[in-house]
Each structure stands twice: as C-alpha cells, then as structure tokens.
Amino acid sequence: MEFQFSDRVNSFQPSIFTVLNEKKEELIKQGRKVYNLSVGTPDFKPTPHIMEAMKKACENPDNYKYAIVDKPELLDAVCYRYKHRYGVDLQKEEIMSVYGSQEGMAHIGWTFCNPGDVVLVPDPGYPIFEAGPFLAGAVIEKYPLDSENGFLPRLNDIPKEVLAKTKFMIVSYPLNPVCVTAPDEFYIELIDFAKKHNIIILHDNAYSDIIYTKELGKSFLSFEGAKDVGVEFYSLSKSYNLTGARISFVVGNKVIIDKFKIVRSQIDYGIFLPIQYAAIAALTGPDDFILAQRDEYARRNKALCGGLRNIGWNIPDSQGTMFAWGPIPKGYTDSVKFCMDLIEKAGVIVTPGSCFGARGEGYVRFALVENIDDIDKLIKAIDESGILK
C-alpha cells in the first residue's frame, strides 16, 4: 500500500541531533572518548524540595485524574515569581500553562493565523520559532540577525509590505543559539514598533536566569506597554532543571491568553497534577541554587570560550543562555562538514549553525553541559586533533 503524506510533513527533515547521536554511539562502540556539547539538557539536578513536592503529590491517587485547568495555587505561584523576580504584576487571567515552551510555540500560531498570514521569525533562531507558525499555515518571513548589529534585528529595515501582512513576531533574548542579550532600549523600541504596525509580539524568555552580566535578566513584561502588544513564554526547564517535566507558562495579554486557552482546550486535559505541585515548589522556593548554577555556567563559559581562543579558535564569550556560539575555523565553509570532522578527529560534538537558519551557516553552537575538568580535556583533544591547523 502506498501512503500519501502531507506536503508540510514532507518538508521536514530528520533532526541533526539524531545524526549526531548516531555518530556518538558509533564512536563509543569503538572505545573513543566523546564530549557531547550538542543538546541543551542541563547536567544539574532538580533541588530536593522540588523533587519532594513531586514525590508527595505522586503518592496521592487523586492526583492521577485529569487536571483540566491550572490549580489556583499554581497561578498564585507564577504571580509570586513574576513579582518577586521581575517586579511584574500579573493577574491569574493573564497566565496559562503549556507542556513546555516548545509545545506552546508549536500551537499558538493556530490562535492567530489564517493561511497566508505572515509571521516574523529570527534568522538564526531556534527551529520551533519557524516550525510552529509553518504548521499553522503561515508564511514565514525571516528577519536577519548578524554580528555587526550585535545579533539584534534592524526593525526599520523590515519592508513595509511585509509588515502590512504580519500577524505576529517572535523575539527571544537571551537568544538561543546566538547567545546575546538585548539592551533595555531595544525592548522600548520593539513595543513602539509593535503598536505602530499592529503586530503581536511573542517573547520567549527561557534564559533570563542564565546571563553573565552584573544585572539579573529581565522579563519582556517588565517594560511599559508590553502587555498591550503580546505575551511571554516562561519556562521552568533550564532555571530549575525540569526539562523532562515539560512545564512552561504563557503570560501577558489577557485577550491572547483567553483565545489560546480555547485552542488548547480542544487538545489538552491539563498539566499532570504532580508536575503542577513541583512547579509550585519551584516558583515559590529559594533562588540561591539558581544563582549558583548561573555562576557555574559563567565559569564554564569562560573556560570553554577562553580555552578555545588560547588554541587559536576565536569563540567570543557568551552573554547569556547555557550555550556559546562562534564561527567555524578558517578553511571550512560548511558547518555540518566541520562538525562531522570535529567528532571524528577530536570526539567533540557541537551543533552546526545551519540548523538554526540560513544565517547560522558558518557558525557552531556549544552547550555548556560539561564540567570544567572535561572542558579542559576537550579543548586539549581539539588542539591535538590538528583540526584548527
């Protein structure tokens, strides 16, 4: 029997992470030492009080039924977190949970888009930024990010005919993969831009707890007028090491939240209650371990980027996220080819920049998921491989 699949699904290719993982397994079978800096899964553990809240909730058989809606205590916890951490006042009606920001980004386009509507996404940018609107039938227009402008968009360069058709724009700082933060002035400009052109802003706030400046990272909603133009995705995955729990929130404009709830009510019966209790414990608990993690990421950032510069590979220090980003060495023009050579010659796995859009070609991304001793060892392995010479 011959199966006919949709044009949309046929447009997707196997994930590069699958290819890299297959190569990793091959080298391990050969007895090779492999350093995996490709996937952004934190190597830190959830704190005991979060795991204890999950465990206790799992022991109650009543918590295995449909949740249907977010518990009031969970919404209170998000309000507490945003007020305590960002100085932002939220109402319960301005909050909804999603199964991770990736799931939320994948579905929110259904709330806004009719076929042919335009969505602005960054290039380079995280793949779901493009895939989600594409699945909703939107036309994807990419706004370019380049090192000359600090990987910030040039809003005034976006063609007027594109802006006239644009429903929403996805923005994220600190931005994975390019690892830069945005100054306050950018958000002020962005909000004015959104109001002028009647464009909704979706801000992905996954990494505001992992930046390497003296100031703490901010929320998009910290800026006046942000709630008027959009919403923010706030994830517990990286700050609290809860990647597998898949718990994030969409917060901000109440009208958008109400419409998105209607969409998700068609496909969802609510976040598993033990996960909600774990999230409550995380959001209302102490921040000291978050700050300690940030400091450790900062040390790894300095060790990796500084160490690579010492052996002749000019990788700039990351400004934020749990990643670093830099150009492939001279002599290479294809980031995938370089990454495969790096695995084979040095046993070091990084992600080719081309996975993040056309403007990511010529770069690679490193996940800061190895301890400093192993970072020193992998830098030595790269140096001794001769790949930089």
Q: Tell me, yes or no, whether 314 lies in a domain.
A: yes
Contact 321, 126 (CB under 8 A): no
The pLDDT tens digits of the residues spanning 7-42 come to 888 888 777 778 888 888 998 999 999 999 998 889
Distance, CA of 11 to CA of 131 (rounded, Å): 10
pLDDT digits 0-9 by tens, 245-294? 999 999 999 999 999 999 999 999 999 999 999 999 999 999 999 999 99
Confidence (pTM): 0.95
332 with 351, same domain: the answer is yes
Kindly report the backbone phi and psi dihedral angles of residue 223, in degrees, each rounded to the nearest multiple of 5, phi listed first.
-100, 135
- Check whether residue 245 and residue 345 sit in a common domain: no
The Cα–Cα gap between 174 and 179 comes to 6
Residue 113 shares a structural domain with residue 139: yes
Pairing of strands 323-327, 363-367: antiparallel
Give yes or no: residues 275 and 321 share one domain. Answer: no
Per-residue confidence (pLDDT) for residue 19, from 0 to 100 = 81
Residue 31 placed within a domain: yes
| CATH classification at residue 62 | 3.40.640.10
Half-sphere exposure of 50 (CA within 13 A, CB side): 23
- Please count the residues of the chain: 389
Query: Could you tell me if 94 and 119 lie in one domain?
Result: yes
Closest CA to 97 of 280, 345, 312: 280
One domain, residues 34 and 84? no
Asked if residues 301 and 96 have their Cβ atoms less than 8 Å apart, the reply is: no
Confidence of residue 137 (pLDDT cuts 50, 70, 90): very high
What span, in angstroms and rounded, lies between the C-alpha atoms of 361 and 377? 27
| Whole-number average pLDDT of the chain | 95
Single out the residue in 284, 306, 321 at which a domain terminates: 284
Buried b / exposed e over 264-281, threshold 16 CB at 10 Å, is beeebebbbbbbbbbbbb
- The answer to whether the peptide bond before residue 177 is cis (omega within 30 degrees of 0) is yes
Q: Give residue 389's pLDDT band: very low, low, confident or very high (50, 70, 90).
A: confident
DSSP notation for 171-228: E-SSPTTT-----HHHHHHHHHHHHHHT-EEEEEES-TTSB-SSSPP--GGGSTTHHH
Total domains present in the chain: 2
> Are β-strands 351-352 and 348-349 bridged in parallel, bridged antiparallel, or unpaired?
unpaired
Say how far apart CA 125 and CA 206 lie, in whole Å.
13
Place of tokens 């958000």: 187
Same domain, 74 and 173: yes
Interval 204-208 mean pLDDT: 96
CATH code: domain of residue 318: 3.90.1150.10
Query: Is residue 327 domain-resident?
Result: yes
Is position 1 within any domain? no
**Do 227 and 269 have their domain in common?**
yes
The mean pLDDT of 173-178, rounded to a whole number, is 97
Per-residue pLDDT tens digits for 352-364: 999 999 999 999 9
Q: Are residues 33 and 61 in the same domain?
A: no
d(CA 378, CA 375): 5
The answer to whether position 2 is within a domain reads no
Asked, for residue 366, whether it belongs to a domain, the answer is: yes
Shared domain check, 259 and 140: yes
In this predicted structure, the answer to whether residue 383 has a pLDDT above a threshold of 90 is: yes
The residue from 250, 284, 318 where one domain ends is: 284
Q: Does one domain contain both 145 and 175? A: yes
Whether residue 326 has pLDDT greater than 90: yes
The answer to whether residues 368 and 355 belong to one domain is yes
> Domain for residue 228, yes or no?
yes
Which tokens in the block code for residue 132? 């989600």
The number of helices, as runs of H, and strands, as runs of E, in the chain is 14, 12
Secondary structure of residue 97 in the 3-state scheme? strand
The answer to whether residue 204 sits within a structural domain is: yes
> Which domain does 350 fall in, by range?
7-45+288-385
Boundary-marking domain end, from 253, 284, 315: 284
Partnered with residue 36 across adjacent β-strands are 349
| 125 pLDDT above the threshold of 90 | yes
